[in-house]
Chains A and B, each alone.
Chain A
Amino acid sequence: MPSLNQLFGSELKVINLGLSGFKQALDDAHVPAVQVDWKPPIEVDGRLLAKVKALQPAIDAANATVTKVILSGMPYLVGLERAVEVVPGMKENMLLHAGPPITWQRMCGPMRGAVIGALLYEGKAQTPEEAQQLAASEAIEFSPCHEHAAVGPMAGVISASMPVFVLQNEGYGNYAYSTMNEGLGKVLRYGAYGEAVIQRLKWMENALYPVLKKAVAKLGKIDLKNLIAQALHMGDEVHNRNRAATSLFYRTIAPAVVRTCDASATVAEVLEFINQNDHFFLNLSMAASKATLDAARGVKRSSIVVVMARNGTDFGVQLSGTGDAWFTGPSDVPDALFFPGYSRADANPDIGDSAITETNGLGGFAIAAAPAIVQFVGGSSEDALRYTRQMYEITAAENNIYQIPGLNFRGTPTGIDVRKVIEKNILPFIDTGVAHKEPGVGQIGAGVLNAPVEPFKRAFEGFAKGLYKK
């Protein structure tokens, strides 16, 4: 047992919580001291806090189960198919979208643009006006990608005949789906629906899809976890930077494309398309994260986040232990660097399913692995290290495969625990692209943001209330 006299006899070592001036004085006196960046906890009902605290051992055990599932996930790319043929629950008159559920009336500009584009692409409307009328009618059913084992970047719209990557999480057997990345500029995911956009989507359907399908079939499967782990060592965090991962994917797929496609012009087109798009891998890193996290859903009493997603209006969160419930709040505008000619006033609130990467210990959580893009987080690699370090405070585990060279190959912070988010008032850190708020303008910048507090507060409350239900 410690005693006061024991304190008198030993060297003073101090933890300072609060005014940093006191730490300064200790530094001057050469007394070892650590300053805590203390913040008040997020305010939630004290009775709910007590409920959660009372069940701490059970929750910890449930979370250990969940993190084990996440860490042992083995996502492979196993094929490509049309959405309607493989995506569970997909229908002819259905459009999947990013983020939590939303009606046409509440959709932001880029999401509406993508819906219009998808209806034109499907031939369900001939003009944008017709498409709008159709979207506003009851004839089209909207549903979140996440409720169909799928993910989509930005607007994330997936329609019935669009080709999708098919991923399987080996060991757990579950599948995940995502579209192929269209590249930059005027693209559907940013809400563009002009003729060139539809034409590109058609080319992807008629040329890219069959070629890649055959190539993947030739390879059998592609180990995406291994590829992502390598990319982290090469300066990607596979959300805002996918250059290394795209290159690795290209090296893997190119020989198979050449071997399985006879038309050399098409081979060239396909390989050039992938080669010219640094973000081609993004949709795969998202789907790999989705496949990994979906296996961890539905563990009773687990407070681990399995979905963070935005639809450009709302930010939604799902926990392993709260079933299919969405906890939502308004989505914020990212703090971004804007392309010339654009400013914060042009920016749409945060949008897309890509925050699934952060949920899986990648993206903003692994920003320390990506020094090339630290301009987005304050300019120095020290800033990036700080962001990643901070995320360890709200996660349940360190990744066994995804590592950060700059942190001595420490595993990335993985498995957000909503209890820690509330207690420490540290919100998940997301690095992301920024869409123009008008449909079709495209990406206008890239930047970072902390997830908004509201959805996490509601998730904690929903979690606590559900703890005692049978």
Chain B
Amino acid sequence: MIIVGQIKKGAYFDSVTLMRVGKELAGLPGVADAAIVMGTKSNKAILHSSGLLISKFDEAGDTDLLLAVKARTQPAADTALASVDGLFTKATRKAGTDGETRPSSLAAALQVMPEANLAIVSVAGRYAGDVAWSALESGLHVMLFSDNVPLETEIALKKFARKRGLLVMGPDCGTAIINGVPLAFANVVNRGCIGIVAAAGTGLQEVSCLISNAGAGISQAIGTGGRDVKQEVGGIMFIEALKALAGDKQTRVILLVSKPPHPEVLRRIERVIKGIRKPIVTLFLGAETRKGGPSTLEEAALQAVALTRAQNPAEAASQLAVRNQYLNKLAKRAAAGRKPGQKYLRGLFSGGTFCAEAQVLFRAVLKNLFSNAPIRGVKPLHNSLVSQKNTVIDLGEDEFTVGRPHPMIDYSLRNRRILQEAEDPETAVILLDVVLGYGANPDPAAELSSVLRQAAAKVSVICSITGTDQDPQNRGRVAAALRKTGAAVMPSNAAACGLAGWIIQLLCPP
């Protein structure tokens, strides 16, 4: 193998463009691997670990672009390097449509659009704070998609925003729906009267889709970023957003979704809730369920829907009980089809909230449950790449995503893992989530079909779909295509987990 590299001084492309071009580069004839990254220390470490670091990269700095190609022959390597410029031109031409003004700064953008009211910030984390700061100073609400923003920065931004009456969603906020407009990774849902505040990104997507699929709709869906409800940030934006929904005429029912907040923060939230007269459904996933409160994202969504129809929220539970009887039957059929020795569950999640919800549901009913992102009561996985007994994996964790696109966009890593788990004679069930909407993979059915077909020939494959028929991928079409592979397609993560849990319990009675 030959490794060649090139430094482009001062060249800058956004990370998605880099990944897209990197992927095309790696796909060229004779090329075994390729990477295009900015020359930061952490990126050099990634190149090192993938054997693509060459000595001449030492001199490159943070603002230099590094190109590395591993190829079978020198000519293949040279050809690949030579084609990079063309690939970049192709990739960026598409983004900049003809004749459109592309300002290079926030100030210049504000000249083009002086009445702008929201900034979406997805630049690299170490710059994101400064960019968000200038947006707030210019009076813009901010959706901060970037991660790796320091905690102190988040606190300072949110305190400043609160004083100015501005919203800071994030950092690490992947999704929101404001005034009916899906932002970043969000789904196309009905407008309606349920307002959502969520400190859990895929959780927000799941409840908003389930509400929409149940015929109700969303007024506003505000993400806060997962750290907002921790002690240090103190729930600043969670509370501000909650208050705003309380005062919003379009919102009749409020739904709160989060992993358990810090006890102090929880007390603060509860104080605010007491002063609000609108019905509020609260799901703190993993915390003890209150009497009458929902225990899953699905139940929370259905309770909110029931409240908009002036029904008793307990209706949701009875609705789900009926559905679960049917799932039980399905489970029996599936268990009967398994070979002796097949007894474990392997959950492969692209959504962090789904992995957490799965653990909440499984820890009560399954023994020997492991995860790379364990919640209380679940054992830490020794090695994220090797499953142990019943295992649920969050593929959105850093160990999988550094230097590559999120698993909701790039299915290749999970597809490999699906096939690998299907080969394990102890695997009985493979469980996965498929997330649709803007930002997510544009054609999941095409990416998954062949892999699921191969897996379903050996094990039970169960997948949930988070999305709507109005999403660009079209939920109904994706579901039909996935069913054809032999997989069981479920309307929610809770349903998928329920089915999977019952199968394992039948195969391996406690």
Q: In the complex the two chains form, is B123's CB within 8 Å of A14's CB?
A: no
Q: Which residues of B contact A389 (CB under 8 A)?
A: 101
With contacts A14-B116, A22-B183 taken as known, whether A1 is within 8 angstroms of B102 at the C-beta atoms is no
Q: In the complex the two chains form, is A41's CB within 8 Å of B116's CB?
A: no
Q: A5 CA to B95 CA in the complex, in Å? A: 33
Q: In the complex the two chains form, is A37's CB within 8 Å of B104's CB?
A: yes
Looking at the assembled complex, report how far the CB atom of A114 sits from the nearest CB atom of chain B, in whole angstroms.
29
Interface residue B141 (Cβ < 8 Å from any Cβ of A) = yes
Q: In the complex the two chains form, is A390's CB within 8 Å of B109's CB?
A: no
Q: In the complex the two chains form, is B113's CB within 8 Å of A17's CB?
A: no
Considering the complex, which residues of chain B in the window 236-283 have a beta carbon less than 8 Å from any beta carbon of chain A?
A: 240-241, 243-244, 247-248, 250
Number of interface residues of B (CB under 8 A): 66
Looking at the assembled complex, report how far the CB atom of A94 sits from the nearest CB atom of chain B, in whole angstroms.
36
With contacts A8-B250, A425-B12 taken as known, whether A17 is within 8 angstroms of B123 at the C-beta atoms is yes
* Identity of the chain B residue whose Cβ is nearest the Cβ of A18 in the assembled complex: B122
Interface residue B30 (Cβ < 8 Å from any Cβ of A) = no
Q: A156 CA to B116 CA in the complex, in Å? A: 49
Interface residue A4 (Cβ < 8 Å from any Cβ of B) = yes
Q: In the complex the two chains form, is B248's CB within 8 Å of A25's CB?
A: no
B 96-139 to A, binary, CB cutoff 8 A, 1 in contact else 0: 10111111111011101101111111111001000100010001
Q: Which of B9, B15, B178, B439 contacts A22 (CB 8 A)?
A: B439
Interface residue A39 (Cβ < 8 Å from any Cβ of B) = yes
A 439-470 to B, binary, CB cutoff 8 A, 1 in contact else 0: 00000000000000100000000000000000
Q: A389 CA to B16 CA in the complex, in Å? A: 26
Q: In the complex the two chains form, is B16's CB within 8 Å of A21's CB?
A: yes
Considering the complex, which residues of chain A in the window 137-191 have a beta carbon less than 8 Å from any beta carbon of chain B?
A: none
Q: Which of A5, A13, A17, A36 has most B Cβ within 10 Å? A: A17
Q: A382 CA to B93 CA in the complex, in Å? A: 13
Interface residue B173 (Cβ < 8 Å from any Cβ of A) = no
Q: In the complex the two chains form, is B104's CB within 8 Å of A17's CB?
A: no
Q: A180 CA to B91 CA in the complex, in Å? A: 46
From B163-171, B203-211, B379-387, B422-430, the one touching the partner chain is: B163-171
Interface residue B14 (Cβ < 8 Å from any Cβ of A) = yes
Interface residue A398 (Cβ < 8 Å from any Cβ of B) = no
Q: A389 CA to B178 CA in the complex, in Å? A: 32
Q: A38 CA to B100 CA in the complex, in Å? A: 15
Q: In the complex the two chains form, is A4's CB within 8 Å of B105's CB?
A: no
Q: In the complex the two chains form, is A20's CB within 8 Å of B95's CB?
A: yes
Q: In the complex the two chains form, is A12's CB within 8 Å of B178's CB?
A: yes
Interface residue B318 (Cβ < 8 Å from any Cβ of A) = no
Q: A370 CA to B100 CA in the complex, in Å? A: 20
Interface residue A16 (Cβ < 8 Å from any Cβ of B) = yes
Residues of B within 8 A of A (CB): 9-10, 12, 14-17, 61-63, 95-96, 98-106, 108-110, 112-113, 115-124, 127, 131, 135, 139-141, 145-146, 164-167, 178-179, 181-184, 219-220, 240-241, 243-244, 247-248, 250, 438-439, 472
Query: Would you mind naming 23 contact pairs between A and B with Cβ atoms under 8 Å apart?
Result: A2-B117, A2-B141, A4-B240, A5-B244, A7-B118, A7-B141, A7-B179, A11-B179, A12-B179, A13-B116, A14-B118, A14-B120, A16-B122, A17-B109, A17-B121, A17-B131, A18-B122, A20-B17, A29-B182, A34-B112, A35-B95, A426-B104, A453-B63
